[in-house]
Amino acid sequence: MSLSENPQYQGGSDTVSVLLHLQNTILKMIAKGAGLAPTCTTLCVEVERILPDVICSVLTVDVAGLLHPLAGPSLPEAYSQALDGLSVGPLAGSCGTAAYLKTEITVVDIETDVRWAQFKHLALPHGLRACWSSPICDADGRAIATFAFYYRNARGPTAFEREVVANCVNLTQIAIERHERVLEHQRRAFTDALTGCPNRAAYHAALSKLEGAAVGSWALFVLDLDNLKVVNDTFGHHAGDELLQIASDRISAAVSPGRTFRVGGDEFAVILKATDALRDLEKIADEVLSALSVAADCGGHSIVPRATIGGAAFSPDDAGVGSVRQNADFALYHAKETGRGGFVRYWAGLRSNMTRRMGAIRDLSAALREDRIEAHYQPIFRLDTREIVGLEALCRMRIGDNLVSAASFHEATADAQVATSLTARMMTLVAADLRRWLDLGIPFQHVGINVSSADLSGGAVGQVLAAALERERVPLTHVILEVTETVYMGRGDQAIQQAIRALRADGIRVALDDFGTGFASLTHLLTVPVDVIKIDKLFVDHLEPDGVSVTIVEGLIRTAKKMGIRIVAEGIETEEQVEQLRAIGCALGQGYIFSPAVNRETTTALLLGHAQGIARAPIATRSGVG
């Protein structure tokens, strides 16, 4: 006998009591944050306890109009599985039709009802003879679920069952709406508002789920947009925001089915799980970089997104997720050092390389703090008169009684903060030495100070130089900033070349150092001019009569003169090289034939004896030839 047929439940206070108990049970679960499926399962169990001859079911309806079982503890598992993914419609059984028409549907005989014609073979073998279903709609009127009673005999609902279901529909709606609010809160908590990508919190959560995964089952990309800061500074943050959105969409499309996360301002991460894809991370990275390389309209400006990627796959050598993350970070750091705009995959030796580099950064940082950085100078001579016309300032680090050349700690300057601090220290030292030489009445011309890509990218090197010279009351004309060819090209980063233009516009002269070692050509000088070109030692070493090096250098000298650019030959070591350079029109040079880099005191003596415009005896070269 069902509860509705029991005389003691024919209405009145007993009915109210039963329904209140049901309502309180479910509302308490909702208030305590119980999951949607357990809540609805409990609801079904409680209803079936009150009405023992009914079988209770709750189905959800997705936005595509497909049914999915949510709760049905007394339904056969095979039957519930058969319902999953069925589409709502006018002839879709009781639940599918109720959701489609948004009205309750009573089928008193499944075997003969046309709405069950295509589905009765699923229900009848399990003894399900009748079904009454009620739709559950959201505030916008969209059917989001159904609540149904199945019967084992052909009949429809009783008045009391209708009262129970009215309460159940309301309770289920409350549970679903709370569940959706929780999902929306989680979505917002784990979603980057600007790009729509999963955010840093989602990234950490996704990584934590990979603990214990099989070796080789996943890999990680970490990616930095290289030109976001330039876009923000040049075109405004609106353009920068559009750049991030476009880049995010392109990265996500290129790595699908991988998952893309925005983990910082210009930082993204990608988790790749497809085993086949892990065999060729380079190919996937190339596809990402290729997708990004197409110009995009960002706030009315045509901008090409540029990125650098580091990658690592989970290997037998990795202790866990944290190890893979660190490896990918190492790879990205190395990629940015060796040339932005590319991809580096972590390899076993990279960690030791990075450890060594970090040691160099630590040592140089300590030397800066402890005032153990010194400036040495290598003179630049006129090749005909052997007069000193300028100097190149070279950094030395003192360790005890020893001096270490910049080549020994060059790796440390890959760190932007250390590099800019070192440049600022050198400018301070050089400005003080310039003041001393000017006070001695030396008819001094200029000192070249080397600057890094970090100095130029930061945009403040001109101000740092001006401040150092102003403190010592030294005119700006006494300094030339030297930029290596690889820095000058900027690995495709227009910010470097824009910085050089800005420096020259402010009256600061710029020299292009190590010319010929990289990939610059004289055509680049048409758009980003410099004042001095310093020919790399490699060309000087290979000077031979009628040789290729002579032809190249001679052509360079001739073209540079027409462009108003001075030429300095570096690394001159023999008198033969001096004569060959003079013969092809090179007027200035530096190298061991004249003098190595020397300290301030020795430089002062050289200037007092051989600076251009000072009466003196001819300088003796290191080969003994005057």
Write the pLDDT tens digit of every residue in 323-373: 899 899 989 988 887 767 889 998 887 877 777 888 888 999 999 999 999
What local confidence, expressed as pLDDT, does residue 278 receive? 63
Reported as a pLDDT band with limits 50, 70 and 90, residue 615 is low
pLDDT band at 275 (very low <50, low <70, confident <90, very high): low
Cβ–Cβ under 8 Å, residues 214 and 295: no
Rounded Cα distance between 472 and 466, Å, is 10
Per-residue confidence band for 525, with pLDDT thresholds at 50, 70 and 90:
confident
Homologous superfamily (CATH) of 200-348 is Reverse transcriptase/Diguanylate cyclase domain (3.30.70.270)
CATH 3.30.70.270: which residues of the chain?
Answer: 200-348
Peptide bond into 257 cis (omega under 30): yes
Q: What is the DSSP string of 399-455?
A: ETTEEEEGGGGGGGGGSHHHHHHHHHHHHHHHHHHHHHHHHTT----EEEEE--HHH
So what's the architecture of 367-610 in CATH? Answer: Alpha-Beta Barrel (3.20)
What is the average pLDDT across 2-26?
68
Above 90 in pLDDT, residue 613? no
Residues of the chain with pLDDT > 90: what percent?
66
Q: Output the DSSP codes for 106-137.
A: EES-TTT-GGGTTTHHHHGGGT--EEEEEEEE
pLDDT at 625: 31
Yes or no: say if 536 and 515 are a contact pair by the CB < 8 Å rule: yes
- CA-based angle 491:496:500, to the nearest 5? 140
Q: Is 317 helix (H, G, I), strand (E, B) or coil?
A: coil
Position 455 pLDDT exceeds 60: yes
Find where tokens 């016309």 sit: 389
CATH topology of domain 3-188: Beta-Lactamase (3.30.450)
Is 50 exceeded by the pLDDT of residue 512?
Answer: yes
Helix H, strand E, coil C: the string for 190-208 is CECCCCCCECHHHHHHHHH
Of 284 and 355, more confident: 284
Is residue 280 predicted with pLDDT exceeding 50? yes
| Better pLDDT: 122 or 7 | 122
- The residue among 475, 483, 513 whose CA lies nearest residue 423 is 483
Task: Give the relative orientation of helices 36-50 and 159-189 as an angle to the nearest 10 degrees.
Answer: 170
Confidence of residue 10 (pLDDT cuts 50, 70, 90): very low
Start and end residues for every CATH 3.20.20.450 domain found in the chain: 367-610
Tokens of 308: 């650098």
* Distance in angstroms (rounded) separating the CA atoms of residues 600 and 606: 10
pLDDT at site 6: 46
Residue 620 has pLDDT above 70, yes or no: no
The one-character DSSP state at 34 is -
271 pLDDT exceeds 50?
yes
Question: Which residues of the chain form CATH 3.30.450.40?
Answer: 3-188
| Active site amino acids | 266
426/415 Cα distance (integer angstroms): 17
Q: What is the sign, positive or negative, of the torsion defined by CA atoms of 315, 320, 323, 325?
A: positive
Count how many residues are written for the chain.
626
Q: Is the pLDDT of residue 188 over 80?
A: yes
State both tokens at 100. 């489609």
pLDDT at 621 over 60: no
Residues 485, 516: contact at Cβ < 8 Å? Answer: yes
Q: Is residue 617's pLDDT more than 50?
A: no
Instruction: Return the pLDDT at 16.
Output: 83
Separation of alpha carbons 261 and 204, rounded Å: 10
